[in-house]
């Protein structure tokens, strides 16, 4: 069995004596050897949760203002989550990656650029996976969990097979907050609670780039406590092994980000990085230099095409728009 219960880690004193917070009911140590799959969406995998247990997960970040709000809500309930970070978002704000980890949360990867791996060649899919892990690890200045989630929850068999060779566990979900569809935090809360009323347990999906989740999370955690749910924290048995060539690429990208930030110290991180290249929407992988005049940026809510007259809005900014 690739997951088993571990003793709960020490809580801060205020948590240990506060009956009104969620805390953590237990930790589950995940053995990623052989690349197991967890969660019930997309044919599912191992189900290690008992009735009434949930795992909190956050994709696509970090994005400082919303990630900080998420961390604040988690701290208030003395509970922990797993963050599946996009590599270029980690490069954009390494300090935020470090902040998430310093608060005891588990950090995994979600590709380099949030690409849909089903449409990529095996080599490009490998690049997305490996640079994603290296970027997050190099931004953290330390190892991360060998935990991966496919963008759009759409795995490809080739990528799944590759993850198995790299001893990387992949995680799908059981409950979708659908927070990317609305700015209304109350709508997110209703969506999550309605699904949990039927499922009674599961891996919950949020996005810490979404203002709706930033606004809703505190109330959701309050309601989970009131309804008797327990939070399970996922921890890795072993850390992810990154590859030297991708670590070097990530280091170069972090250095480039620092140079950009030094030139525009008062600008928002998300507006100065990643920079669009070749007139594209910034979706071009950093090792590729195609001579293109337009770029296409697909997302869950549709797609947009960028003109070569200037950098277009990054995918995570588009998700924040009405």
Q: Is 280 a residue whose pLDDT tops 70?
A: no
41 pLDDT band, cuts 50/70/90, is low
Of 6-10, 35-39, 231-235, which has the strongest mean pLDDT? 231-235
Cβ 108 vs Cβ 140: under 8 Å? no
Condensed to tens digits (0 to 9), the pLDDT of residues 58-78 reads 999 999 999 999 999 999 999
pTM: 0.83
Cβ 9 vs Cβ 143: under 8 Å? no
14 pLDDT band, cuts 50/70/90, is low
Secondary structure of 261-321 in HEC code, one letter for each residue:
HHHCCCCCHHHHCCCCCCCCCCCCCCCCCCCCCCEEEEECCEEEEECCCCCCCCHHHHHHC
Q: Which fold has domain 3-236?
A: TIM Barrel (3.20.20)
How much is the average pLDDT of 221-227? 97
42 pLDDT band, cuts 50/70/90, is low
Q: Which part of the chain is CATH 3.20.20.370?
A: 3-236
Angle subtended by helix axes 64-76 and 94-102, to nearest 10: 10
Q: What is the mean pLDDT of the chain?
A: 83
How much is the average pLDDT of 273-299? 37
Q: Is 184 a residue whose pLDDT tops 90?
A: yes
Q: Out of 120-124, 175-179, 275-279, which region has the weakest mean confidence (pLDDT)?
A: 275-279
pLDDT of residue 54: 97
């Amino acid at each position: 069995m690739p997951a088993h219960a571990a003793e709960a880690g020490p809580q801060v004193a205020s948590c240990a004596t506060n009956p009104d917070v969620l805390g953590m009911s237990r930790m589950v140590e995940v053995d990623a050897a052989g690349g197991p799959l967890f969660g019930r969406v997309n044919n599912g995998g191992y189900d290690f949760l008992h009735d009434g247990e949930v795992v909190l997960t956050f994709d696509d970040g970090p994005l400082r203002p919303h990630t900080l709000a998420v961390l604040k809500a988690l701290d208030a309930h003395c509970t922990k989550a797993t963050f599946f970070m996009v590599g270029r978002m980690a490069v954009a704000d390494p300090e935020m990656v470090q902040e998430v980890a310093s608060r005891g949360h588990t950090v995994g990867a979600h590709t380099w650029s949030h690409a849909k791996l089903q449409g990529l060649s095996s080599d490009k899919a490998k690049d997305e996976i490996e640079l994603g892990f290296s970027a997050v690890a190099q931004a953290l200045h330390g190892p991360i969990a060998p935990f991966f989630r496919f963008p759009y929850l759409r795995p490809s068999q080739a990528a799944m097979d590759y993850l198995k060779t790299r001893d990387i566990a992949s995680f799908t979900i059981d409950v979708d907050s659908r927070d990317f569809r609305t700015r209304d935090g109350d709508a997110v809360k209703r969506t999550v609670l309605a699904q949990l009323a039927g499922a009674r347990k599961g891996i919950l999906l949020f996005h810490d780039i979404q203002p709706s989740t930033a606004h809703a999370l505190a109330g959701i955690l309050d309601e989970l406590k009131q309804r008797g749910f327990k939070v399970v924290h996922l921890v890795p048995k072993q850390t992810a092994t990154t590859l030297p060539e991708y670590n070097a690429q990530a280091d170069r990208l972090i250095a480039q980000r620092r140079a950009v930030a030094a030139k525009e110290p008062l600008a928002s991180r998300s507006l100065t990085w990643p920079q669009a290249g070749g007139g594209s929407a910034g979706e071009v992988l950093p090792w590729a230099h195609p001579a293109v005049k337009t770029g296409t940026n697909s997302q869950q809510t549709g797609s947009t095409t960028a003109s070569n007259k200037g950098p277009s809005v990054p995918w995570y900014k588009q998700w924040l728009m009405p």
